């Protein structure tokens, strides 16, 4: 994935985002070429050096057999940015988004105990009081027989936040205000409501990045400014 410097994450940001893992695309390269399945994931940090992402697939889904190098693409907030959202005129439409590519080795697990433990992790990460213990032993056996656990043992993570960091700070303020206003409007069939996470990112990291860039530019201008000669 191509990531310009101003759209990149540092290690701490990547770790924080990975802790909030939700759902993403498992991408493998099998006998018939590339394949992808959208799946919910849980993070188990105790596996290996970098942790592992865990989930399950239907046994009839052949993708679990594609063990070896694989990737999970995780999706953050994304929003359409209209030219009218900008403080500066003459802009063009664009799309803001956050994404992560997690690469590693895919391992399949058919052991029912591993599958049950993985299901516990997955459910435990959700805002629910439901527990796998509520299932009857017969139903649990039937379910674990119909699915296969899969685990991506993480080797590298690449993140990208294209969230208007390259814009002036006053323009970022205008974009955040526009998305906030759009969230409060009545449902418009043509548009999705912007996510609160996107607005928060604009008002936080994106604005901080722009302000740091503007302060550095101002220091550079001040340094280059010739001194006055008194004579």
Joined tokens for residue 215 = 């302060």
Q: What token pair was written down for 43?
A: 């993070």
Mean pLDDT of the chain: 90
102 token code pair = 């997690």
pLDDT in tens, 133-187: 889 999 999 999 999 999 999 999 999 999 999 999 999 999 999 999 888 775 6
In CATH, which superfamily holds the domain spanning 5-166? Electron Transport, Fmn-binding Protein; Chain A (2.30.110.10)
| 92-141 confidence digits (pLDDT tens) | 999 999 999 999 999 999 999 999 999 999 988 888 888 888 899 999 99
CA 62, CA 103: separation in Å to the nearest integer?
A: 20
Helix axes of 207-224 and 169-184: crossing angle, nearest 10 degrees = 160
d(CA 152, CA 129): 27
| Domain boundaries, given as residue ranges, for the chain | 5-166
Whole-model pTM?
A: 0.85
SS3 percent helix, strand, coil of the chain, rounded to 5, is 40, 30, 30
């Amino acid at each position: 994935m191509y990531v310009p410097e101003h759209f990149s994450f540092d290690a701490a940001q990547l770790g924080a985002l990975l802790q909030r893992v939700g759902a993403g695309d498992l991408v493998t390269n099998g006998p018939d070429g590339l394949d992808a399945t959208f799946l919910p994931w849980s993070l188990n940090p105790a596996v290996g050096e970098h942790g592992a992402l865990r989930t399950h697939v239907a046994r009839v889904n052949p993708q679990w057999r594609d063990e070896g190098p694989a990737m999970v693409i995780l999706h953050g907030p994304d929003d359409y940015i209209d030219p009218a959202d900008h403080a500066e005129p003459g802009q063009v439409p664009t799309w803001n988004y956050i994404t992560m590519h997690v690469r590693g080795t895919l391992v399949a697990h058919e052991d029912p105990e591993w599958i049950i433990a993985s299901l516990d992790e997955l459910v435990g990460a959700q805002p629910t009081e439901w527990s796998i213990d509520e299932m009857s032993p017969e139903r649990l056996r039937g379910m674990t027989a119909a699915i296969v656990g899969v685990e991506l043992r993480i080797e590298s993570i690449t993140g990208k936040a294209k969230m208007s960091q390259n814009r002036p700070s006053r323009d970022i303020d205008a974009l955040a205000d526009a998305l906030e206003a759009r969230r409060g409007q009545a449902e418009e069939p043509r548009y999705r409501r912007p996510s609160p996470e996107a607005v928060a990112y604009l008002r936080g990291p994106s604005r901080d990045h722009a302000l740091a860039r503007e302060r550095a530019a101002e220091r550079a201008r001040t340094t280059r400014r010739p001194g006055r000669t008194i004579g």
